[in-house]
Homo-oligomer: A and B are copies of this chain.
Amino acid sequence: MSLSTSDRSLLEPAIRRLNALRPLSTEARTALEYALLEGLQRAGSAEDLISEGDPVDSVRLVLSGWLCRYKTLEDGRRQIVNFIFPGESCDAHAFLLSVMDHSIAAMTQVVYSEIKRARFEALVAGDRSLAEAFWCETLVNNAIQREWAINLGRRVALERVAHLFCEIFERLRPVGMVEGNSCIMPVTQMDLADATGLSVVHLNRTVQELRSSGLIVLRERTLTINDLDALKDAALFSPSYLQLYRRG
């Protein structure tokens, strides 16, 4: 059995990202690729992959599409606490805990791979580089979550939205989802509001402010950043927490 070209291109972003976090051995890479191909799944837009309170017994790795992690309060208030992009895992090792503390929803059509607990454990037990890559992933995730705390707690609306756009752009870049100064932005303004802790109305006005100052163009589900440095300045954005250049 060997991998076809289409298999390779499907897996490529995920493998590339893990490999950037921690160089994978050839064997680990191959073992992972086969495991991924065996567990392929699809989810439709707006579908919940897993919900708060659900038990976890597998690891999902996203191959294409956008997802988000979110939590809700009893009265319906909702906060998107993070996005999940291709190459990222939904819940590596999360089965060590009993249940999900949050929900994960697909925001677009999604292709992912589900690896059962035992299989995943065997994979990471068999190769140190793979275990470390997943470790790193969790740590980076943690760092992003901390940055979201300061975003929600201390930045004003304009900075907050600008920061979110910068982060999305920089996270999409290494998985090949940025072209020139544009990337897809397949989410509604309500989603952006829930990610920035703003009301939809105020998010809309803030986006328009960014538009009219010429920093961004956002239309037809595409975000174009005219002047990334200027947007970063407006956002007080400093990308080190993303650990993108660990090996540079």
A binding-site residues for B, Cβ under 8 Å: 22, 53, 69, 71, 73-75, 77-79, 81-82, 93-94, 96-99, 101-102, 132, 135-136, 138-143, 145-150, 152-155, 196-197, 236, 240-241, 243, 246
Q: Is the CB–CB distance between A99 and B146 below 8 Å? A: no
B contact residues around A81 at 8 Å (CB):
146, 149-150
Q: Is the CB–CB distance between B101 and A143 below 8 Å? A: yes
User: Could you list 16 A-B pairs, sorted by A, with CB under 8 Å?
Assistant: A22-B96, A53-B240, A69-B146, A71-B149, A73-B154, A74-B236, A97-B143, A98-B243, A101-B240, A101-B243, A138-B139, A138-B142, A142-B142, A145-B149, A149-B149, A154-B197
Which of B132, B149, B150, B155 touches A96 (beta carbons < 8 Å)?
Answer: B132
B contact residues around A138 at 8 Å (CB):
138-139, 142
Q: Is the CB–CB distance between A97 and B243 below 8 Å? A: yes
| Copies of this chain, tallied across the complex | 2
CB distance from A150 to the nearest CB of B (A): 4
B contact residues around A142 at 8 Å (CB):
138, 141-142, 145
B contact residues around A240 at 8 Å (CB):
53, 99, 101
Closest to A149 in B: B81
Closest to A22 in B: B96
B contact residues around A99 at 8 Å (CB):
240
Q: Is the CB–CB distance between B152 and A153 below 8 Å? A: yes
Whole-angstrom CA separation of A141 from B246 in the bound complex? 23
CB distance from A187 to the nearest CB of B (A): 16
Q: Is the CB–CB distance between A246 and B154 below 8 Å? A: no
Q: Is the CB–CB distance between B139 and A82 below 8 Å? A: no
Whole-angstrom CA separation of A150 from B102 in the bound complex? 11
Q: Is the CB–CB distance between B246 and A146 below 8 Å? A: no
